[in-house]
Amino acid sequence: MKLYRYLTEDDTAAFCHKVTAALNKGWHLHGNPSYAFDAARGIMRCGQAVVKDVPGTYTPETKLGDH
C-alpha cells in the first residue's frame, strides 16, 4: 500500500528535523514544500508531503507515523 503524510511545523529547525526523520524512516518527498503565514499565531509555517510504499492493506486505523 502507499501511505501519505503531510508534515507541518513552525518555520524553525524543528521542521527540517521532522522531514529528515521521515526521510530516514524510508519516506520520500512528494511535491514541493509549502510556506504560509499563520495569522492567528503571527508566524510562518512550513509543510511537506511525503509518501511511502509498505506491505499490507490500508484501513483508517493504519498508524501512519508508525511506518
Q: Tell me the pLDDT tens digit for each residue of 5-63.
A: 999 999 999 999 999 999 999 999 999 999 999 999 999 999 999 999 999 999 999 98
Does the pLDDT at position 66 exceed 90? no
In eight-state DSSP terms, residue 60 is T
Spatial separation of the C-alpha atoms in residues 8 and 3, rounded to whole Å: 16
14, exposed or middle or buried, with CB in 10 Å at 0-12, 13-18, 19+?
Answer: exposed
Q: Which three cell numbers mark 25?
A: 524512516
pTM above 0.75, yes or no: yes
